[in-house]
Amino acid sequence: QCLLSGSWRSNTGCRMVVSVLGKDGSFSGSYLPGPAAGDSEILTSPLEGSQQDAGLVPQPTFSFTVHWRLRETAQTTAFLGQCYVGTNGEETLHALWLLREAADSPAEDWKATR
């Protein structure tokens, strides 16, 4: 069915918890990077997103942003992906992401997105 509500874990140990899933497909929750992130300063951070209507599309696309709670820098990550249902009924999320740090000037813009 591919409803995003609940807890999801990535293959790198990151965890996404979707606590509110609206009837319009909007959702919110929290995101915590796993040990692969290598930064102990990163705290559980809020996320907000939206998902296609799972009643209309059996394997819906979704997007969400995470506004990282960091001590010294401002960063936002945008995720875009799709939920797949395997032949055994297991739901799997596949996503791409872009991380953006705040740049001090337009000249520093080139290194602000990863």
70-101 pLDDT per residue, tens = 767 778 999 999 999 999 999 999 999 999 99
Q: Considering only the C-alpha atoms of the chain, give the largest distance between any 2 of them, rounded to a whole number of Å.
A: 51
Give the mean model confidence (pLDDT) for residues 16-44.
82
- pTM for this model (two decimals): 0.85
Show the domains of the chain with their CATH numbers.
6-108 (2.40.128.30)
Q: What is the pLDDT of residue 77?
A: 93
User: What percent of the residues of the chain are helix, what percent strand, and what percent coil, each to the nearest 5?
Assistant: 10, 50, 40
The rounded distance, in Å, linking the Cα atoms of 1 and 24 is: 16
Binned at pLDDT 50, 70 and 90, residue 38 comes out as low
